[in-house]
Amino acid sequence: MRLSAAPAFFLASLALSGCTSSLGPDLVASVPSRETTSSVARPSAPVPASPVPSADVAETPAATAPRQEELAWAGPVPQPRAFEPQPGVPTAPMPSERPVATVEPAVLTPTAPEIDAAPRARSRIYNHRFRDVKPINFGSSSPRKLAVHGVDVSRWQGDIDWQKLRTQGANFVYIKATDGGDHLDPMFRKNWRDAKQAGIKRGAYHFFYWCRTAGEQADWFIRNVPREAGALPPVIDVEWNGESSCKRRVSPEKVREKMQVFMDKLERHYGQRPIIYTAPDFYRDNLKGAFLNYPFWLRSVAAHPSKVYPGRRWVFWQYSGSGISHGVDGRIDLNVFHGSEADWHDWVAKAD
């Protein structure tokens, strides 16, 4: 999702939004990336004003500006082929018991709204028909060779024709839900409901804010994202974001500590192990060699993940931030699942 030149008032709004998702380029550089996803790009059509329907969930004025998206899941790690060791890829033994970090202040966890269980039926897989404004030649490792494609969205995609988007190849979607400890994407509830009605497998993600405690952020996500049968695992989106009002850059040790607190809370609540979404610069600074028993969703828009994140196994690959599709105005992030169609169905069944 690309951040183009915007009017002054838009940039001022970005400064107020604590947590815009800034996706970095696939370069091993010493400075944070300026590349962003379409979740913060200026939409080509006006974003509908969608009020948050819950009376007890309110956004603070400082949290109403655009930010970027994230994701999460919790529970036992699924073991489809996507997680099997690959030749030449170093692996680490799976710990039999993982300590739970407890350094964050305890926060009373509100009860998330429950939604009735959905039937466990295999959904039809549609071939991808997406186009790309800035296509990349990935050569023999092209994501187009993989079977199950999907997208991620936020308020910046506006009103979506979910039925049409699904037939274009959106077999799954991750929907921006929350960031920080007080911001709810104003389109989350509508997108969550409409994607389900269209038969798309969907999950929610949270953009992590380094100026808030992990416990507060986990409670905020749990308060707003239903614990629903059939939903994909929740996602924690961890990145450095130069556009955020929070300029803090904590140490790698503190980064991992805060992430662990957040993920442990979500895993206990949803019964699924969260997925970690990240970008190259943040991964290089904080996550290389860490969280080997967690599923990863990797952004890599210029090269295959094996070149940008050597040795890291992954479940999802975000291969473009400049996709276009029927059913959506403007650009959209494109993603692919690491495995065959059979692997996908197995993974979804284990994630439930």
Phi, psi torsion values for 263, nearest 5 degrees: -70, -35
**Selected catalytic residue, list 70, 239, 243, 267:** 239
| Residue 89 structure tokens | 């890829």
**Would you say residue 157 lies in a domain?**
yes
| Residue 25 structure tokens | 């380029």
**What confidence category does residue 87 fall into, taking pLDDT thresholds of 50, 70 and 90?**
low
| For range 147-164, the mean pLDDT | 97
- Residue 341 among the catalytic residues: no
- Which single residue is written with the structure tokens 């994407």? 185
> What confidence score (pLDDT) does residue 100 get?
39
Whole-Å CA distances, 179 to 126, 153, 313: 31, 14, 26
Dihedral of the alpha carbons of 238, 239, 243, 249, in degrees to the nearest 10: 100
> What confidence score (pLDDT) does residue 162 get?
98
11-20, 129-138, 174-183, 328-337: the lowest-pLDDT one: 11-20
Domain assignment of residue 325, given as a range: 8-46+60-80+100-351
**Would you say residue 92 lies in a domain?**
no
User: How far apart are alpha carbons 221 and 136 in whole angstroms?
Assistant: 35
Q: What percent of the chain has pLDDT over 90?
A: 62
Check whether 66 has a pLDDT greater than 50. no
Query: Domain total for the chain?
Result: 1
Instruction: Kindly report the CATH number assigned to the domain that includes residue 168.
Output: 3.20.20.80
- DSSP element (H, E) containing 324: strand 316-324
- 55 Cβ neighbours under 8 A, 6+ residues apart: none
| For range 306-313, the mean pLDDT | 97
User: How far apart are alpha carbons 95 and 116 in whole angstroms?
Assistant: 34
| Residue 123 structure tokens | 């959904």
- DSSP element (H, E) containing 207: strand 201-207
Burial grade of 201 (CB within 10 A; 0-12, 13-18, 19 or more): buried
User: How far apart are alpha carbons 138 and 40 in whole angstroms?
Assistant: 25
> What confidence score (pLDDT) does residue 113 get?
52
Q: How many CB atoms lie within 10 A of CB 226?
A: 16
Whole-Å CA distances, 14 to 22, 64, 112, 213, 243: 12, 9, 29, 21, 6
Nearest to 263 by CA among 104, 110, 73, 68: 73
**Would you say residue 27 lies in a domain?**
yes
Check whether 51 has a pLDDT greater than 60. no
| For range 36-47, the mean pLDDT | 41
**Would you say residue 2 lies in a domain?**
no
Q: How does pLDDT run across 252-271, given as a tens digit for each residue?
A: 999 999 999 999 999 999 99
User: How far apart are alpha carbons 22 and 38 in whole angstroms?
Assistant: 10
Q: How does pLDDT run across 172-185, given as a tens digit for each residue?
A: 999 999 999 999 99
User: How far apart are alpha carbons 150 and 175 in whole angstroms?
Assistant: 11
| Residue 15 structure tokens | 């400064």
| Residue 160 structure tokens | 């979506």
